[in-house]
Structure 1
Amino acid sequence: MARSSLRSIDRQVMLGFGVTLAILIGVMAYARARVIAVDVATEWVDHTHRVIETIAAVRTQVADAQVGQRAYLLTGDRGQLAPYRAAVRGVDTSLAQLHALMAGDAVQQRRLDTVQALSYEVLAELGKLTEVAETRGRGVAVGAMRGESDSLVRQFQAATARMSAGERKLLVERAERQVRERQAARIAVVIGAIIIFFLAIAAAVRVRSALEVRARAEAERDAHATALALQSREVEAQNQELVAQGEALRRATDQAESANAAKSVFLAQMSHELRTPLNSVIGFANIVRRNPRGVLNATELTYLERIAENGQQLLHTINSILDLSKIEAEQESVELEMVSLDAVVRDVLAQLEPQAAVGGVEVLAELPAPLAAVVTDTEKLRRVLINLVANAVKFTRPGGRVVVRVETGARSPTTPVAISVEDTGIGIAPDRLALIFEAFEQGDVGVNREYGGTGLGLSISRALCRLLQCELTVSSTVGTGSVFRVALPLDGALASLPTADLTRRRSLSS
């Protein structure tokens, strides 16, 4: 009876593991199919981006040709025709690429044929202007250029605009399909993980039941053994039978223990695998917060906002610690390039304006003219300014203001360029100024309780400034405000952009 029960439970346990394995394989197969669908959608999105970029390249090449031709007609310098010659060579290549990329789209192919014809007409017309300038004078050529040439250029720009609009429409559709495929893949993984988790729990319950049956059978065997010791040979024979049953029970025990060990390993692996979908909670909370169908009430939305905010706060803290660790371990590299300070400052303020608006703080930028450029790492400089401006906004009460000011000196390469962040906030006590750049330190013991934060932002900013060979300093008055100043080492890198380059940029963007 006990042996039959053990076999039955063993079959049930094996069946449970078999079902779990089958479901796991099914979930993995479905998830793989979703991943493939995501890859296909991503390839189409990338394809559309390449088409848009190539259309822009054709437009730019024709614009370069027009700019070069105008410069030649105005100056008489044949060297100004270099952009026109380069455009003549480059347009054919770009149009061939577009034909290959749009091979399956009949509508866009027709538009491309129009663009190709117009581009050749524009380039041919510009070539004729050179001949007119050489035979009849540059003044006559300039007049001709303002006539039919400009008309052809406008037609060409309109045709390329229609092509770009068609591709952007396709880009929106393909991006939406990509998002849907990603959501389906994530949902499949989460649902599969939950199903497997509960199946694993069910298997553990069955194994525990088998162990309880074994314990009861062993107790019965011991009782029979005591009675058989007082019996005759017949009882001894029965005792031998019970011994045999005991051996069978021990084998069942070994099998049950092996199954239990396998269950433990399975659960350990599954707990690791479940961390990945659980890390998606923040992302899914943000998706549900959008409440597109209006099915959530205000309380539920508040809960979702708290989940998302707490998750983002934790993520921000972890990222800050990792950033600081990477910098201290000298794993951060510097990528130098010419940087427009005007663009960096405006980008930082645009990113932090919502935070400032919520706190009732006005953020302003005082930028010099003409625009200055400096050689540095754009991303790291932006991170420094984001930390400084975010701190200034956080510690400024409603009605206050934060001013980001770019200071430039003369054109001498030894004259420093500085960016200062000035606020009308609570200020920092003199005895705390030397400590605020240390990790996990803030201006006052009670600041963390009132304003929150980890005290890592200024530490990271100081480390990044040292990496960029900048100097970060602070001056502050309690109750009046603070000024953080980043002095950038120019080493001859600060200069106004050349007038020719500026003129060309304006022409290409028109």
Structure 2
Amino acid sequence: MPTNTDASLARRKVRARAARLSAVLLGGLFVGFLILVGVFIEYRRAIDWVDHTHKVISTVEDLQSNLSDAESSQRGYLLSRDRSHLMSYRAGVERSRALLDRLDSLTIDNPVQQDKVKTLRALTADRLGRMAEVLRQSEDAGMQRALDMVREGVGANMMAEIRRLTAAMRADEDLLLARRSRHAMILELLMVAYGLLFVTVTGWLGYTTVRRLERDYQAERAEGRALTVALQENRVLLDEVNHRVKNSLQIVANLLRTQALRHRSQEVRQELLDSSSRVLAIAEVHRRLYGEGAVYDTVELSDLIRSIAENAIPSDSDGGGEPAMSVAVGTPLPTPVDTAVPVALIVNELLTNSYKHAFPNGRTGTVRLDMEVEGNEVRIDVADDGIGLPEEVGSSGGGFGLNTVRNLTRQIRGRLEIERLTPGTRFLLTFPMKPGAPTQA
């Protein structure tokens, strides 16, 4: 049965493949967009050439029309002697020359048309010169001479040649117009088709991406719900485990205490009671690892030490004739379990030894427990004003309890200092603070 990890790994692989595919598609779309831009630029150029061809055709037609108007105005003047016709004639001549200049500029990219424009310019100059000569003859030699020159047909032949040449230019431009229009239409169709393809692919990519993200979101929500249920189950399981461990340890402690009370040997009875006390110290740690708001890998050390101190008071104490307890702990200090358990055992051992050895024969006094944090270190000070340590107990001597304290101190990478007071003994435990990253269910 696939686990959540397998499902997550499979989703990551699918996402990686989808990301690669999306990258390829996006790259293709980008290249396609550049091609589309290039096609659009070429289409605009084609449209400009189509407009240019229309301008050439229009200019050729205007030139022919203006020459015809100038010729008609000249004949009107010869027949009616109305000088207003001369004004139309002169305007037609000037405009014809301007149109020739414009036509020369428009066909500068076409050598064939340029040759025709040169021929047309020469024919137009001859025709305009002939018309000007006819008007001079009408002024100098009389109207009859001018009419005779018109009847000779030289001017008509020139005009026919001009019409033939402009018709040839118009035919050439019509061919160019058809070719350029077809090119522009193909580019337009290509641009529209590619634009539709671009929009379709982009829309499909966006749709599939949204659908994939939606599926991933739904899958992650389902996985999150499953993880929440599993986490809640683990929380209940951890609570149950810690609760049972605490209960089991308390049962063991009670069994040891019961066995101690029934044993005849005072020495064995005391050892069993000490072992019971140690088991209860460990049980106290587990008691704090379950319940509402429990943090399963961290214990609040200040509160734990206070409880250890209270539990270490001899059970047969009635409030009189027994050593007094003074506890002063600092601010709350979350501590990893692998540090809290040795510290609890060390404090329990030191307090038990003080009650057991520092005040023999009903002697009264005070046991003081202090805890404070200095920089990155925790200092726990256990002192009493009892009879003090025997001379033979030094930095390495002592009984089982003191050797246990030394071993546990090495386990938490700490150091233990023993100081003889007047009166009493002081134990100073110093160990590095190792705050974990609490994990709360």
TM-score normalised by length of structure 2: 0.50
Question: Which protein shows a greater Rg?
Answer: 2
TM-score normalised by length of structure 1: 0.43
